[in-house]
Amino acid sequence: MKTLGLRLALQVATLAVVFSTVGHAEDRERVTFSKQGLQAKIIYCKTCHGLSGEGYLGYFPMPRLAGQQSEYLENQLRAFIERRRTNPVMFNVVRVLSPSMITALAKHFMDLNAIPFGGAPRGAVAMGKTIYEEGLPEANVPACSACHGSEAKGQGQIPRLAGQLFPYTVEQLTSWKTARGRGPGNDTSAIMSPIAHNLTESQVRAVAAYVSYLK
């Protein structure tokens, strides 16, 4: 009886050590950076993407990150690392980030609520609204709202379009096949390739103008 009790006690002690080790390992995986380290990365991101994550209207427009779905942001940052999305600058920026840092950055920018820049051609907004809400059945283009929502705020891996910079959206839709949904891996962006292909230049600009004014 004493031997059985001793064995049981040793087994319990061993399990306690194992679970404790696993727990500490999980904690290290969840948090692999300091608050100062996170703040430094946030400041670095805002150098290009704006102090409130509102984006940047320069020669090379930088996308709005404020209010973007965190799951989408995480997936796209991983897409740069995995070469599912081509951007040499972002590859070098993101490849040094730990998974927990990527998650924290995505959460930070999702919680921001910057005022949209606007500035897109007003004359194209009406057409863009129609395409966004009704699609183009004759061109096999579904309503954008079916996936991105009536307010264009997205959900999960489906991105927010509301308030996105007009020139950035135009550029992304125009170059979709060469920049997005490439290589192996889970990238919901691939579904957009035939849709973007079926939009004319004027239709692309109309949709981009409409969503740029949404808040």
Task: Output the CA torsion sign for 29, 33, 35, 39.
Answer: negative
Count of Cβ atoms closer than 10 Å to residue 163 Cβ = 24
Average pLDDT over the chain reads 85
Can you give the pLDDT at residue 178?
A: 79
CB contact at 8 A, 64 and 116: yes
What is the C-alpha separation between 10 and 132, in angstroms, rounded? Answer: 65
Q: pTM higher than 0.85 for the full model?
A: no
pLDDT above 60: residue 23: no
Torsions phi, psi for 62 (to 5 deg):
-100, 130
CB contact at 8 A, 165 and 57: yes
Please name every residue paired with 62 in a beta bridge, in sequence order, or none if there are none.
56
Count of Cβ atoms closer than 10 Å to residue 169 Cβ = 23
What is the C-alpha separation between 87 and 131, in angstroms, rounded? Answer: 29
CATH class of 35-212: mainly alpha
User: Of the candidates 146, 119, 143, 148, which has an alpha carbon nearest to the alpha carbon of residue 199?
Assistant: 143
Rounded to whole angstroms, what are the CA distances from 50 to 33, 77, 87? 23, 18, 19
Question: How far is CA 57 from its chain centroid?
Answer: 19
Q: Which pLDDT tens digit goes with each residue over 93-111? A: 999 999 999 999 999 999 9
Residue 56, phi-psi category: left (phi > 0), alpha (psi -120 to 50), beta (remainder): beta
CB contact at 8 A, 41 and 105: yes
Q: Which pLDDT tens digit goes with each residue over 201-213? A: 999 999 999 999 9
Amino acid identity, position 173 = L
